[in-house]
Amino acid sequence: MSVGRTPARRPFPALLRAASRILPLTVALLSGTACAQGTEGRGEVVESQAARFRVTTFAGGLSHPWGGAFLPDGRMLVTERPGRLRLIDRDGSVSPPLGGVPEVAAAGQGGLLDIQLAPDFASTRELYFCHAAAVRGGNVTRLVRARLAGDARSLDSAQPIFDALPAQTGNGHYGCRISFGRDGKLYLTTGDRQRVSERAQDLSDLAGKLLRLERDGRPAEGNPALPGARPEIFAYGIRSPQGLAVNPATGTMWEVEMGPRGGDEVNLVRPGANYGWPVVGHGTAYSGLQIHEAPSRPDMQDPLRFWTPAISPSGVAFYNGDAFPGWKGDLFMGTLSSAGLMRLEVEGDQIRGEERLLWGQTRIRHVVQGPEGALYLLTDENRGRILKLEPAGE
């Protein structure tokens, strides 16, 4: 990373700028990542434990990109949190905002969030996205079904099909990650909405849950029969779920969530399981006060892995491409407060190790695998980018 020219009479600001560029590299070296040349977004070559890759900027000019999905032709739909949907061409050019996107409640953590194509998109052009919506009584996490127009310039028939009620004022912890399971059902995360943590334990309330739905928004057939529970609920006791993905090796669903001050979690999803928030966990309140009655309890599900202090995990993707054979089957996770990319070595439904990549460089909101096997990282910035990780060769 080059330092801009600074007049000789003002050396101290130049030293500060140089230090700010050296620090991420130092952190990367300490975490097992060696940068061979260049800078992030300009051809940086990184030696990881299981691959050698190059980081380039694939696209830019985005405002807090949040969710992404590749079309069958290799173009990419990307949401921007302020409420815009863009189409990124194969050369990285960014379209004007697509038409037909409904108004969103874009404030705080709310806005236009995740997007996923239907499993039969190639024939139906159907897609699903999630956003914060203003309704009577506050805001809700809303799921919308739509179709991409033939010219890919707009959405047709965008229709809300599900609201995670009851509504609440405030703009935190919406959840809003979407994934299709091997069973063809739609899985949707909802956060606890931050102000009343106990909502996550209330089975008559849709906050702080993992929901399993039919494609029209109805409760999916075969959901667990929990006493007094809403029929959409598949699992509960969840705080701020930011990642959701199917393990291609086992077909299981994995969920990733932020703790408060520590206690970030990766969870293996089991039908009817209670993941404990706020009763058990490994974090503390932002004030430093105790939240949980214990770290664990026999009737509540322990995470596969947790982090204290916090790393603030976000969007995830299991890698199943051929471009990086050493990464096959691993889970990649963007992080926000630690501003990097986490690789979790996965064997079956167990985590065997972790590697911290690009640590301390950029807040990464989401990870998406491209059709050619590259990884694409959505950065959480006012001038957001999509970074591309591809093999660097020898």
Q: Cα(first)–Cα(last) distance of the chain, in Å?
A: 22
What are residue 59's DSSP bridge partners? Answer: 386
Contact call for residues 339 and 361 (beta carbons, < 8 A) = yes
Q: Within the chain, where are the H helices?
A: 11-30, 121-124
Active-site residue, selected from the candidate residues 173, 282, 292, 366? 173
**131 catalytic, yes or no?**
no
Coil, helix or strand at residue 226: coil
Coil, helix or strand at residue 348: coil
The total of other beta-carbon atoms located within 10 Å of residue 7's CB is 8
Contact call for residues 237 and 300 (beta carbons, < 8 A) = yes
Q: Which pair of tokens denotes residue 202?
A: 């209330």
**Of residues 98, 171, 99, the one with CA closest to residue 138:** 171
**Of residues 70, 47, 176, 172, the one with CA closest to residue 113:** 176
Burial class (CB in 10 A: 0-12, 13-18, 19+), 325: exposed
**Of residues 135, 119, 139, 138, the one with CA closest to residue 127:** 119
| Active site positions, annotated | 173
